[in-house]
Amino acid sequence: MKDLLCIAHRGASGHAPENTLLAIEKAINMGAPWVEIDVQLLEGQLVVIHDPTLDRTTNGTGLVETCRLADLRLLDAGRGEKIPLLSEVFDLISGRCGLNVELKGPGTALPTLALVQSLVGQGLLDWSQLLISSFNHHWIKQVKSREPLCPVAANLCGLPLDYARFAYGLGASSVHFDMEFIDVALVEDAHRRGLMVNVFTVNREEDLERVRQMGVDGVFTNYPELVLNKG
Ligand code: G3P
Ligand code: MG
């Protein structure tokens, strides 16, 4: 059986508060080769949080974009964890796993690119350990057109009539599909176009087997143990 790539979704978020340094460290300790996190821009800083609001994952309330950065950094994102800055995530990982940065909020593409270019320039990051992705394919194009060396991926929640054609011209190395919509034709079309297929978010054994049968290459999971060491 083909090995599936394990991407710890928002860190090992089934075991620790999502998108925190604790969840990322947990994923690394569990042996996940890749971690995915979500970023938004606030006062020029890249902050690691999924929702546009603070309510679900922190002890704060309201929109992220109307919160002061200093106040956001005082919030509890679970078990006393702070909402990390993207730079802190890179510091923590220090080459121990790959990082998939999902651009969630407007204005994140160029600051993310500037940060990773600086890290690569300092020898602190290798392009092979990075993947920038988004549901907003314009942002992906923005990154790839400015930095052809930067690996990018296009996310999609749906099943287009022309399958994976949307990824044409983006320079993406992989496509990330919602498991509710994928079928074999989509996976095969992506493969024909030279794209790796990773699927989110696979947290149950039966879903893992279903997408494995379709021939996907990797899965995003909150539970890395579901995928790791299972040939
Ligand atoms: O990047 C894959 C996956 O994280 C996309 O969905 O909503 O969990 O960010 P979401
Ligand atoms: Mg995400």
Q: Mean pLDDT throughout 122-151? A: 98
- Express as a percent the part of the chain with pLDDT over 70: 99
- CA distances (Å), 189 to each of 4, 161, 178, 183, 216, in order? 19, 11, 16, 10, 12
Average pLDDT over residues 121-145: 98
Tens-digit pLDDT profile for residues 34-53: 999 999 999 999 999 999 99
Residue 229 scores a pLDDT above 80:
no
Specify the pTM.
0.98
The fold adopted by the segment(s) 5-228 is: TIM Barrel (3.20.20)
CA-to-CA dists, residue 31 to 8, 24, 25, 228, angstroms = 10, 11, 10, 8
Instruction: Name the residue with the closest Cα to ligand 1, atom 10.
Output: 50
Q: Is the CB of 34 under 6 A from ligand 1?
A: no
Give me the residue spans of the domains in the chain: 5-228
Residue 15 is among the residues annotated as catalytic for this protein: no
Distance (angstroms) between ligand 2 centre and the Cα of 102 equals 6
**Residue 231 in this model has a pLDDT that exceeds 60:** no
Ligand lying closest to the C-alpha of residue 135: 1
Q: Give the pLDDT confidence of 19-34 residue by residue, as tens digits.
A: 999 999 999 999 999 9
200 Cα–ligand 1 center, Å: 7
How much is the mean pLDDT over the chain?
97
Of all protein residues, whose CA lies closest to atom 3 belonging to ligand 1? Answer: 200
Ligand 1, atom 6: nearest CA belongs to which residue? Answer: 200
Q: What percentage of residues in the chain have a pLDDT greater than 90? A: 97
